[in-house]
Every structure is written in C-alpha cells, then in structure tokens.
Amino acid sequence: MGILEVKGVNKRFGGLKALSDVNLSVRENTVHAIIGPNGAGKSTLLNCLVGKLIPDTGSVMFDGQSVLGRKPHEINQMGISRVFQTPEIFGDLTVMENILIPCFARRDGAFRLHAFENFAHEKDLVEKAEAILVDVNMIDKRNMHSASMSRGDKRRLEMAMCLVQEPKLLLLDEPTAGMARADTNNTIDLLRDIKSKRDITMCIIEHDMHVVFSLADRITVLAQGTPLVEDEPENIKGNPKVQEAYLGEAAH
C-alpha cells in the first residue's frame, strides 16, 4: 500500500480525454518518476493530486485519506508540496520572505492573525529558512528581490520553498526544464542529497532521461493519458513498448 494511491482516474477537457483510467501507487520513501511525451497528461495528473483539478471519476488517496474535494491549502497541510512547471514564487518579495512563508504555513496552519508580532521573535523560523537557503546555495541572495533572479534561481527557490515544509510527498513538475547542464546536475545532486538526509517521498515528472535514471526508484510511463508500464528503471530502458512510445520518439 503506497502513501499515494491513484485509482481509475479519468479527466476530460471537452472532447479531449487527458487522463483515462490512470492507476498509480507511490510507495513511501521512494522516488517515483512519471515520464511520457508532451501532452501525455503528466501535469494534468499532478493537478488532480493538489486540488487544482478534480477528476471526473476515480479516487486519489493520500496517507489513507481522500484528497478529492479538498482545497489546495488543505491538501498542502496534509503534507503534499508541489513545484510547478513554470516557477511559481512570490515575485514582489525577497528570497528570505519567500522561504519564511512556507515556514509559517507549516508551523501555524492555514491562517493565523499574527498582525502585531515581530520577526525578531521568530528566530527559529529564520534559522530554519537560512539553513535551507544554505542547502540550495542561495544564502548570498537572501535579500534579493526574487522576481529579478534568473529562471534557474527561481526554480531552486521554489524547490527550497517546498523542501522547507518537509512534506511527506514532494511533487516536482519538470524541475530541470530550461536549465543548463550544470544547473541540472546541481539539481540532481540537491535532490539526491535531500533524499539521503531525510525521509521523503518524491513524485517527479521529467523529460531529461539522465535525471530520471539517476534519481528514480520506479518509473511510470504515461502516453495519451494512460499508463503504459510501471517498473524499475533498468527494465524500462529495455522495454520495447516504451521505446516506441517515448524513448524512440525522443531519439529522433
């Protein structure tokens, strides 16, 4: 029984069947990769997990509870954090503030009227935020206006915002898309490092095979809204169905 159990999920957009009968089981403390060609429905699947979309049919259970019908903030409070395909950060705020917000969310819940409190009394949270900034190598940028950073930095910032929450399940939607090779390698190292340091379950969508094979414990291949196979990385590489649907196509 996995920490995340997706059963029989269907999702239509008008006439387009974006997801058809998707089953997925993510086991605790593993990295589960979802791969598949563009438009396969990978982002749609993630959207169904975090409350952005509601599947037409099917069930999504996390940690023994259904997430369907819950609001995004409630699902996050259950322990799911998500990195988006295009970085979603608080552009008007500083890097430090971007990290502090998830810290407050984790400690104080979905709402607290801390209108007359002072950051000077939040040493613990500030230290925690600084520690994660050191981990992602951004401590020197702590007072930077986050909108003015490079795309790669924004991605790392968003990842740090999710990591600082110490989620039970971290969802990553193409975390290395648009990154230079060096940045991609840094990201792989970072994710490996996180995995080795704490108990974390990750579900990662990725185009870059190098990233997938160096991180994933298990891989699901999605094509046209349906899972083709789910297996260990070594077996995926040699699977002819996958070659045809995805790897073959990518090789062209």
Partner 1 sequence: MLGLNKHDAMLFVIVLILTLLAPFLLNPFPQGSSLAQFNAGYPDLMQRFVIYGIFAIGFNILFGLTGYLSFGHAAFLGMGSYAAVWIFKLLTYNVVPAILLSVIVAGLFALVIGYISLRRSGIYFSILTLAFAQMSFALAYSVLSNPKFNLTNGETGLQVYSNDPQWLHRASLPDMPHLFGLSVRSTYTLRMNGWTFDFNSGYYICAAIMILMFYLSIRIFRSPFGMMLRAIKSNQQRLNYTGLNSRPYTLAAFVISGMYAGLAGGLLAAMDPLAGAERMQWTASGEVVLMTILGGAGTLIGPVLGAGFIKYFENIFSKINDNVLHQWFAFLPDGMEDLMVTIVHPFIGKGWNLTLGLLFMIVVIFLPGGLVEGGQRVGRVFRRRDRKASGAEAEAARQRRTPAE
Ligand X SMILES: Nc1ncnc2c1ncn2[C@@H]1O[C@H](COP(=O)(O)OP(=O)(O)O)[C@@H](O)[C@H]1O
Residues found near ligand X in the complex (CB under 6 A):
13, 16, 18, 36, 38-44
Q: What is the C-alpha separation between 155 and 175, in angstroms, rounded?
A: 7
Which of the ranges 14-22, 105-113, 190-198, 220-228 carries the binding residues for partner 1, by CB under 8 A?
105-113
How near is the Cβ of 200 to partner 1 at its closest, in Å?
Answer: 17
Residue 187 site contact among Mg ion, ligand X, partner 1, none (CB < 5 to 8 Å, cut-off depends on kind): none
Q: Which of 16, 39, 73, 180 binds partner 1 (CB under 8 A)?
A: 73
Kindly identify the residues of this chain, within the stretch 40-59, that bind Mg ion according to CB under 5 A.
43
Q: Indicate the residue among 43 and 201 with the shorter CB distance to ligand X.
A: 43
HEC string of the chain equals CCCEEEEEEEEEECCEEEEEEEEEEECCCCEEEEECCCCCCHHHHHHHHCCCCCCCEEEEEECCEECCCCCHHHHHHHCEEEECCCCCCCCCCEHHHHHHHHHHHHHHCCCCCCCCCCHHHCHHHHHHHHHHHHHCCCHHHCCCEHHHCCHHHHHHHHHHHHHCCCCCEEEEECCCCCCCHHHHHHHHHHHHHHHHHCCCEEEEECCCHHHHHHHCCEEEEEECCEEEEEECHHHHHHCHHHHHHHHHHHHC
Q: Considering CB distances under 5 to 8 angstroms, the limit depending on partner class, which of Mg ion, ligand X, partner 1, none binds residue 175?
A: none
Please identify, using beta-carbon distances, which residue of 189 and 249 lies nearer to ligand X. 249
- Closer to Mg ion by CB, 40 or 99: give it: 40
Q: Does the footprint of partner 1 cover residue 188 (CB under 8 A)?
A: no
CB of 2 to ligand X, least distance (A): 21
- Per CB under 8 A, which of residues 47..66 are in contact with partner 1? 50
**116 contacts partner 1 (rule: CB under 8 A):** yes
Q: Which of 154, 136, 152 is nearest to 144 (CA)?
A: 154
Q: Which of 12, 54, 19 is nearest to 34 (CA)?
A: 19
Least gap, CB of 159 to ligand X (angstroms): 18
- The reply to whether 71 sits near partner 1 by the rule CB under 8 A is yes
61, 68, 101, 194: which one binds partner 1 (CB under 8 A): 101
Q: Which of 126, 139, 177, 229 binds partner 1 (CB under 8 A)?
A: 126
Q: Which residues contact 65 (CB under 8 A, 6 or more apart)?
A: 78
In whole angstroms, the minimum distance from the beta carbon of 69 to partner 1 comes to 15
Residues near partner 1 (CB under 8 A): 50, 71-73, 76-77, 81-82, 84, 88-94, 96-97, 100-102, 104-106, 109-120, 122, 126, 142-143, 145, 161, 165
